[in-house]
Amino acid sequence: MSPSLQLSDALSTACTRTIRNAVDFFLKKQHADGYWWADLTADSTLESDFILLELWRHAPVNGVWNPPTKTRIEKAVRSILARQLPDGGFNIYPQGPSEINASVKAYTALKLGGVVLGHMDADDARLVKLRERIMAMGGLQAANSYVKINLSLFGLFPHEFTPTIPPEGMLLGRLIYEISSWSRAIVIPLSIVHSMNPQRPVPAGFTVDELLTPGVSLEFPNDEGFFSMRNFFLKADKVLKFWEKYGSKSLRQRSIRRAESWILERTRYTDGVAAIYPPMMYVIMALDLLGYPKDHPDVREAEQQFFNLLVDDERGFFFQPCFSVVWDTAIAAYALAESGAMPQESLERAADWLITKEVRRKGDWSVKRPNVEPSGWYFEFANEYYPDIDDTAQVLLALAGAKGTHAVQQDETIKRAVNWLLAMQSKDGGWAAFDVDNNWEFLSSVPFADHNAMLDPTCPDITGRVLEAMAACGVPHDHPALRRGVDFLVRTQEADGSWYGRWGVNYVYGTFLALRGLQAVGESDREAHVLRAGEWLRSIQNADGGWGESCASYDRNTYVEAQSTPSQTAWAVLGLIAGGDTTSSSLQKGIEYLMETQRPDGGWNEELATGTGFPRVFYLQYHYYRHSFPVLALATYVKAKSGASGN
């Protein structure tokens, strides 16, 4: 036996030991019902918004703010302060720079918390330093529209300088379904709140005027020129503001009632509207303004679902943006099934649980696909109106390897989900997250679209995962939908050989999923686009053998290096193997990195955010990524080296 083969065999044997340790870790973490579920964490903005919501829910009386939730507010203040950077500001991803929106939100929340707790005011050294950092970044005028809207609800920013969000949009047919599902869920309740211009009370003398940059206009900036869509929408906003003052009051009320009905309908069969933090917060506000008493069942339900997102225990005090349980379970089950080391009973329980979460009702997606039978999976425990394509593809991958106790039911479920996924392909051949052909680019120029998430365009990462899932479920490689998906990936490859990752950070994520999808549907690893992707992955490997990528890559539109992480190293390893590389020193070093960084308990540590919510705006830490993806990478490597088919 040659030395290289001996080394290969030894590495595979060591991989197998590492996998078994990880399997033991997952066995201990599996819930009795069969699922895996880890925390989903973000930045300080959720805790900051919570304090503002408490100001809404428990308003000051005669200028004195004495809320019954002082203890929670104090914990939120401590949680926020724990993340203050040395320069005084707050970032939106670990090890990132100060960011204006997070910093303004933190300043407002901390100053409000100081009013309640009595030990921090505008002269506090921490607030002084934070204020200086905010001013260096452009002051309050540089914040996005959602920050300004939230402040305007309390008279802390002039309402006339916030973008109009007209509820009359509810009367314009399918228009609301041309914006992304998450923006739709935010904008509809917010349209009620903002249109009523509530001007809720604040503590006596409270203001954030000190964050305004002197001499800088409060008007919306127009950096696209006179003959631009941006300028068109800015002019339209002035018309809408005129309408707000002098338009039909009956039409406004009709619009608000339509929005109210839409919201209430989407609180059924779900854990809050869209099951995500921002809409749930605005629904609480909207129901209040609509006159619902505090003991009304819908109000109680809205508040209960919102506070279910709160973690307040030995892990700390923080809000999750949503629950990632279906996603966590699907990735873990897929990886563990691929490992071949997971007990069948455990995989059965995971598969059975996932099957119970299949969507069987029509949701927002059906507006464009009215004749398609409902199927698919959502992200959370319950979110029937919003199954998403990415979760559905990942669950199908899990069910292809993890067999439940009811084979016929599982087969029927898989068939429905495959048909649903095929129906959700967009015209360009790719797949998006929640909707079909959600790509009206001009809508990104509306004034309240500066959260960078107005649309839900097709993307390489989801398209690659869908192709892999279709192949795993037996869809022929020559199926027209799959060939169009391949064409989409070839067209969207970056000049350097990578692919953009919309839902994970970033080019490493997009590249691994594109390569996995191409391999699964029979694309030759001798194709130029596959070879270029492999070369790119090898070129960005860190000296320690791992891979890492910063969230800053979204800001610079190119790969930005970062310290190695288990999840991104696993993605790179998976990408290399999918591209036909089973022997390079880069691959070997990546495998060694994963083995060497495993903890004694079988898991891995990871400090950086590798998940993406809204590029350049909101990032996520999926706390099972660091565990699940290394297992998948190591298992895939062992199969590749043993000559097994792998996927």
On the question of pLDDT at 647 being above 60, the answer is: no
Q: What percent of the chain has pLDDT over 90?
A: 89
Do 608 and 489 fall into the same domain? Answer: yes
pLDDT computed for residue 229 by the predictor: 81
User: In a 3-state reduction of DSSP, which class is residue 561?
Assistant: strand
pLDDT computed for residue 225 by the predictor: 66
Q: Are 302 and 296 in contact (CB under 8 A)?
A: no
On the question of pLDDT at 644 being above 80, the answer is: no
Do 647 and 562 fall into the same domain? Answer: yes
Look at 3 and 203; give whichever has higher pLDDT: 203
pLDDT digits (tens, 9 = 90+) for 531-584: 999 999 999 999 999 999 999 999 999 999 999 999 999 999 999 999 999 999
Q: What is the DSSP letter of 214?
A: T
pLDDT computed for residue 244 by the predictor: 87
End-of-domain residue from the set 76, 105, 137: 137
Q: What integer best gives the mean pLDDT of the chain?
A: 95
Average pLDDT value for residue range 313-317: 96
CA-based nearest residue to 99, from 626, 498, 619, 629: 619
pLDDT computed for residue 226 by the predictor: 67
CA-based nearest residue to 458, from 390, 518, 559: 390
Q: Are 328 and 622 in contact (CB under 8 A)?
A: yes
Tokens representing residue 300 in the block:
């109680």
Average pLDDT value for residue range 268-272: 95
Model pTM? 0.96
pLDDT digits (tens, 9 = 90+) for 7-58: 567 888 899 999 999 999 999 999 999 999 999 999 999 999 999 999 999 9
Identity of the amino acid at 566: P
Do 411 and 528 fall into the same domain? Answer: no
End-of-domain residue from the set 137, 171, 197: 137
* Gap between the Cα atoms of 168 and 175, Å rounded: 11
* Gap between the Cα atoms of 454 and 446, Å rounded: 9
On the question of pLDDT at 645 being above 50, the answer is: no
Do 540 and 476 fall into the same domain? Answer: yes
On the question of pLDDT at 421 being above 90, the answer is: yes
Q: Are 167 and 195 in contact (CB under 8 A)?
A: yes
On the question of pLDDT at 329 being above 80, the answer is: yes
pLDDT computed for residue 452 by the predictor: 76
On the question of pLDDT at 331 being above 80, the answer is: yes
Do 628 and 491 fall into the same domain? Answer: yes
Tell me the torsion sign for CA atoms 551, 554, 556, 559: positive
Do 469 and 405 fall into the same domain? Answer: no
Do 503 and 645 fall into the same domain? Answer: yes
Do 522 and 631 fall into the same domain? Answer: yes
CATH code, domain carrying 475: 1.50.10.20
Identity of the amino acid at 630: P
Backbone φ and ψ for 325, nearest 5 degrees, come out as -65, -45
Average pLDDT value for residue range 288-313: 97
pLDDT digits (tens, 9 = 90+) for 501-528: 999 999 999 999 999 999 999 999 999 9
Residue 609 in domain? yes
Q: What is the DSSP letter of 98?
A: P
Tokens representing residue 130 in the block:
């934070």
On the question of pLDDT at 4 being above 70, the answer is: no
Single out the catalytic residue among 43, 390, 428, 435.
390
pLDDT computed for residue 443 by the predictor: 87
Do 535 and 419 fall into the same domain? Answer: no
Give residue 1's pLDDT band: very low, low, confident or very high (50, 70, 90). Answer: very low
* Gap between the Cα atoms of 29 and 25, Å rounded: 7
Whether 352 is catalytic: no
DSSP string, 218-253: -SPP--S-SSSHHHHHHHHHHHHHHHHHHS-HHHHH
Neighbour order of strands in the sheet with 40-41: 40-41, 618-622, 611-614
Place of tokens 């839900």: 456
Do 411 and 556 fall into the same domain? Answer: no
pLDDT digits (tens, 9 = 90+) for 390-414: 999 999 999 999 999 999 999 999 9
CA-based nearest residue to 200, from 157, 162, 151, 154: 154
pLDDT computed for residue 237 by the predictor: 83
pLDDT computed for residue 5 by the predictor: 45
Q: Are 278 and 181 in contact (CB under 8 A)?
A: no
Range of lowest pLDDT (8-22, 351-365, 454-468) = 8-22
Neighbours of 6 (CB within 10 A): 10
Q: How many structural domains comprise the chain?
A: 3
pLDDT computed for residue 154 by the predictor: 98
Residue 350 in domain? yes
pLDDT computed for residue 6 by the predictor: 47
Neighbours of 503 (CB within 10 A): 20
Which residues on neighbouring strands pair with residue 611, listed in sequence order? 504, 620
Give the structural domain span for 123: 44-137
pLDDT computed for residue 451 by the predictor: 74
Residue 182 in domain? no
End-of-domain residue from the set 137, 167, 185: 137
pLDDT computed for residue 230 by the predictor: 78
pLDDT computed for residue 119 by the predictor: 78
Do 498 and 417 fall into the same domain? Answer: no
